[in-house]
């Protein structure tokens, strides 16, 4: 199957009260693992890359890997730019063939966030590519992304205005999650999420989900989250597989052997989160 966009997938998720799992990939093995997990559970899936990952390898390189894997899959696969940090990077991903683009202007003031988001929406919508944006500040650190300490929670009325004025297809909102590894159990503002859902018509996105208890994620989905992002825990799973293999056989020199273990660990993790999102059987 060719790569698809998020547009129809997320509208279906919104209508039928589940979420699409969005998983960050850092290499070929993680791409393979994410799509294999989706295949086993018959789930649509989003593979995404951050600006930091795209410094390691180009958007064209990652797009080629994901497109090749998707062509052999029988479930819908999206190639998404996660936390696009500038108009220029968003356009690089767009030109490389990404089928969904996020522009993250949340570090700008409200009007500047609207302006940069509108510019990406105009360019991408001309070619039928959906755009995700962010309002509010998801804290923590991941790659080059530094959300700072604490969270600037999304204001429902501002979210409604932002979605209307920008024409975005989905909106990431801040309700108490953070990027990276949590030092404690996050406390999410579920009532805020419900208020946002009442006034914003486009699908909502949950960022910073690695480490959030599964029951909390399920409640977020029940209250209207249509896309759930996972990144840090995939890296941890892959690294754990490598470390365990190398500890047992420190003389190994074939990267295929230990990378295959990392790939399996990532696949099992992704499967568990697809079940949490409720997207299994929706492909």
Query: Which sequence positions are flagged as catalytic?
Result: 82
Residue 176 assigned as binding residue: no
Q: Is 207 annotated as a binding residue?
A: yes
Task: Find out whether 179 is annotated in a ligand binding site.
Answer: yes
Residues pairing with 274 in the sheet: none
Nearest CA-CA partner of 241 in 225, 253, 255: 255
Annotation-wise, does 279 bind a ligand? no
- Is there a binding annotation on residue 231? yes
Contact between residue 227 and residue 208 where contact means Cβ atoms under 8 Å apart: no
Q: Is 108 annotated as a binding residue?
A: no
Sequence-ordered list of residues with C-beta below 8 angstroms from that of 112, at least 6 positions apart, any chain = 105
Q: Give every CB contact of residue 114 below 8 A, 6+ residues apart in sequence.
A: 105, 162, 165, 166
The verdict on whether residue 104 carries a ligand-binding annotation is yes
Instruction: Give the pair of three-digit tokens for residue 254.
Output: 């074939």
Instruction: Look up residue 40 and give its two tokens.
Output: 């086993």
208 marked as part of a ligand binding site: yes
Q: Is residue 17 a known part of a binding site?
A: no
Contact 42, 75 (CB under 8 A): yes
Q: Are 173 and 204 in contact (CB under 8 A)?
A: yes
Binding site for Zn(2+): what residues are annotated? 83, 104, 134, 179, 207
Binding site: what residues are annotated? 83, 104, 134, 179-180, 207-210, 229-232
Binding site for dihydroxyacetone phosphate: what residues are annotated? 180, 208-210, 229-232
């Amino acid at each position: 199957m060719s790569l698809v966009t998020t547009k129809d997938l997320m509208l279906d998720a919104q209508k039928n009260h589940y979420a699409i799992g969005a998983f960050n990939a850092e290499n070929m093995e993680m791409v393979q693992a994410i799509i294999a997990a989706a295949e086993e559970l018959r789930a649509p899936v989003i593979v995404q890359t951050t600006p930091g990952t795209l410094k390691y390898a180009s958007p064209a390189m990652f797009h080629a890997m994901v497109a090749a894997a998707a062509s052999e899959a029988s479930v819908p696969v999206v190639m998404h730019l996660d936390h696009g940090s500038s108009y220029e990077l968003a356009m690089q991903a767009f030109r490389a063939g990404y089928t969904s683009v996020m522009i993250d202007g949340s570090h700008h003031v409200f009007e500047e966030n609207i302006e940069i988001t509108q510019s990406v929406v105009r360019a991408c919508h001309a070619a039928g590519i959906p755009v995700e944006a962010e309002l509010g500040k998801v804290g923590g650190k991941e790659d080059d992304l530094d959300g700072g300490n604490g969270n600037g929670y999304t204001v429902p009325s501002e979210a409604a205005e932002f979605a209307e004025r920008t024409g975005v297809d989905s909106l990431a909102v801040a309700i108490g999650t953070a990027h990276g590894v949590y030092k404690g159990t996050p406390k999410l503002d579920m009532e805020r999420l419900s208020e946002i859902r009442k006034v914003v018509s486009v699908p909502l996105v949950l960022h910073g989900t690695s480490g959030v208890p599964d029951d909390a994620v399920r409640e977020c989905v029940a209250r209207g989250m249509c896309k759930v992002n996972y990144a840090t825990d995939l890296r941890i799973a892959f690294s754990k597989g490598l470390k365990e293999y190398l500890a047992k056989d420190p003389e190994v020199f074939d990267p295929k052997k230990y990378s295959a273990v990392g790939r399996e660990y990532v696949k099992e993790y992704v499967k568990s989160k697809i079940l949490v999102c409720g997207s299994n059987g929706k492909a």
